[in-house]
Amino acid sequence: MEKNKAKQKSDVDLQKLEGDEQAAASKMYEDTLKEFNEGSIVNGKVLEVRPMEVLVDIGYKSEGCIPLHEFGTAEDVKAGDQVEVLLEKLEDDDGMVVLSRKRAEQQKSWNRVVDTCEEGSILEGTVKGRVKGGLIVDIGVDAFLPGSQVDVLPVRNPDELLGKKLEFKILKINKERRNVVLSRRELLEERRREQKKKLLTEIQPGQVRKGVVKNITDFGAFIDLNGMDGLLHITDMSWGRLNHPSEMVAVGQELEVTVLDVNLEKERISLGLKQRLPNPWDDIEAKYPIGTRIRGKVVKLVPYGAFVQVEEGVEGLVHVSEMSWTKRVVRASDVLNVDDMVEAVVLNINKDEQKISLGIRQTEANPWDLVAQHYAIGARVKGTVRNFTNYGAFVQLEEGVDGMIHVSDMSWTRKINHPSEVLKKGDEVEAVVLEVDAVNQRISLGLKQAQEDPWTGISSRYQVGQKVKGKVTKLASFGAFVEIEENVEGLVHISQVSDQHIQKVRDVLQPGQEVEARVIKVDPVERRIGLSIKAAQLADDEFKVDDSMLEGLRPGEDLVDLAGAFDAALGVAGQSPEEWHPGEKKEQPPEAGS
């Protein structure tokens, strides 16, 4: 019996011991579960490397599988390796834990950034990609760099920054959303302000500084002097002519420039590029004495002349008045084009104003220098009618030499109102030289002087009382003109047309009508002949000149001047203010400046 009791007690003790062990084991298991929290980083051991995944034991009731690519390749991991993984989920549908090595690395990096950095901190990062609105920068974790914060100036090609390691300033850290916003612009601006202060304390006029072309405008270029910008004006880029700064510099180009002026109050710096080279105007008078013949290129045309490049940085002006001895050039573009190569002679130099006056016509002989020898006064010459003015016709005597026939020298017998009444363009004419003015480049010609004056001996051919026949040529309110021989006309006053009283001459006479009249007055001095159709009806012994017949033919009256009277009747205007008569001087145009 005692033996049975001892056995029963032993069984009870054993059961109690087993229960205590189970309780302890259960408690240990429960404590183990408490150590595994989703989202935490835990240590694990690689149990097996499979073709597509890695089996990892974290000491939990089940293992987890991690994609192989999170380790790299099969060569980068082996069984027995200790790794840190992120516990994403304690149990999936298959009862396995869900682990991630990649997210564990990201979490560690994030923790490291949060622990070591704060807003305003400066750190390095590598630009790894583009996203909408900016760039992604690897600073251990992916951070966002807005496009407006990339640089102090808009970046035209952000792809050029990809893969570059740069410094950034942390603008914002959002721990809840786990993102970081960076700025490179603020960092650059801060450093630029410091550089600007330093630059303004050091820079002085006359210094030579290196800079980079930052921006180009129509009036110049802004040069980054590593601290602030200076203006390189277009007029200080080259000693020569520039149409636009882009002909001389390009954005991003590095230059050595001379500091011309520093305005500390306005924080402005003026720069020069041409000052790095010798000024070609320094010895201009020695290089190009007056009278020197040069060859240059037309670089610019203006209405009053052409600018010719003598050498780099030196231009001279050929005024339109200095382009031809014989042609009246109105606009330079009528005879020259940009880029034409021309020969010219230096006429004048103004070193202080950097101006040179040039002449193209001086490279040729002046045909007017020999005009006086070729065209003596009184000589008969031949030429071609080239052009008309209101007061005469220009006749080309030779290339570059014209003479003018004034309307008053076109006919002995007629008052010519316009040269087209007698001549046509292209007509070959013979004339007499009346005057030569080589200085003003004028030759006065006479057309009528080359012909016999029909009024010579008029008194011997026509006497008072003589009957003549002729043809009516013109009608006026005061009478009719009758041609009695070639180029000789007489006037029949309205009172001498008929015995009957007439109101209008055209009621009785018509141009072209043949009439017979009697000469009632001959005045060879004033070139006038008075006629009477009415007196032709009288017998010779009955004809007698009385004062009534001479009405309207008295000397000094407008009606007596036959041609003048006719012109007055037609309302012919007076002499043009531009009319030039032989012997008159015409004011020369002012000398062209450069």
pLDDT digits (tens, 9 = 90+) for 136-160: 888 777 888 888 888 877 788 888 8
Indicate if the pLDDT at residue 576 is higher than 50.
no
Q: Do 523 and 473 fall within a single domain?
A: yes
**11-37 per-position pLDDT tens digit:** 545 555 555 555 544 444 454 444 677
The reply to whether 349 and 300 lie within a common domain is: yes
Backbone phi and psi for residue 32, each to the nearest 5 degrees, phi listed first: -65, -40
Same domain flag for 326 and 381: no
Is 33 among the domain residues?
A: no
Ranges 120-124, 253-257, 447-451, 493-497: which has the least confidence? 120-124
Quote the CA–CA distance of 513 and 506 in Å, as a whole number: 11
| Residue 568 burial (10 A CB sphere; 0-12, 13-18, 19+) | middle
Q: Are 159 and 147 in contact (CB under 8 A)?
A: no
Name the helix (H) or strand (E) containing 245. Answer: none
Contact assessment for residue 344 and residue 316, using Cβ atoms and an 8 Å cutoff: yes
User: Is position 575 within any domain?
Assistant: no
Is residue 150 included in any domain, yes or no? yes
Distances in whole angstroms, Cα of residue 184 to Cα of each of 167, 214, 224 = 7, 18, 18
Distance CA 532, CA 515 (A): 10
pLDDT of residue 317: 94
Question: Do 252 and 344 belong together in one domain?
Answer: no
Last-in-domain residue among 306, 331, 363: 363
Is 376 in the same domain as 433?
A: yes
Number of domains in the chain: 6
Q: What is the pTM of this model?
A: 0.44
pLDDT greater than 50 at residue 223: yes
288-300 mean pLDDT: 92
pLDDT at 362 over 80: yes
Amino acid at 300: K
Whole-angstrom Cα Rg for the chain? 57
More confident residue, 13 or 326: 326
Q: Which of 384, 361, 348, 247 is nearest to 594 (CA)?
A: 348
CB count in 10 Å sphere of residue 430: 13
My answer on whether 440 and 483 are in the same domain is: no
Question: Domain check: are 260 and 342 in the same one?
Answer: no
In this structure, the answer to whether residues 421 and 475 fall within a common structural domain is no
Among candidate residues 276, 292, 323, the one where a domain is terminated: 276
Give the domain range for residue 548.
464-570
Are both 309 and 272 inside the same structural domain? no
Residues ≥6 apart with Cβ < 8 Å to 469: 484, 514, 515, 516, 517
Both tokens of 354, joined, read: 């950097």
Residues 181 and 214 placed together within one structural domain of the fold: no
- Residues 515, 493: Cα–Cα separation, whole Å: 14
| Rounded Cα–Cα distance for residues 315 and 239 (Å) | 10
Q: How many percent of the chain have pLDDT more than 70?
A: 85
Please report whether residue 431 resides in a domain: yes
Q: Is 53 helix (H, G, I), strand (E, B) or coil?
A: strand
What is the three-class DSSP state of 333? helix
* Better-predicted residue by pLDDT, 301 or 400: 301
Cα-based distances in Å from 581 to 298, 410, 414, 508:
39, 13, 18, 40
Report CA dihedral (83, 86, 91, 92) to the nearest 10 degrees: -100
For residue 122 the two structure tokens come to 């400066």
Degrees to nearest 5, angle at CA 164 with 213 and 137: 115
Return the half-sphere exposure (C-beta side, CA atoms, 13 A cut-off) of residue 552.
22
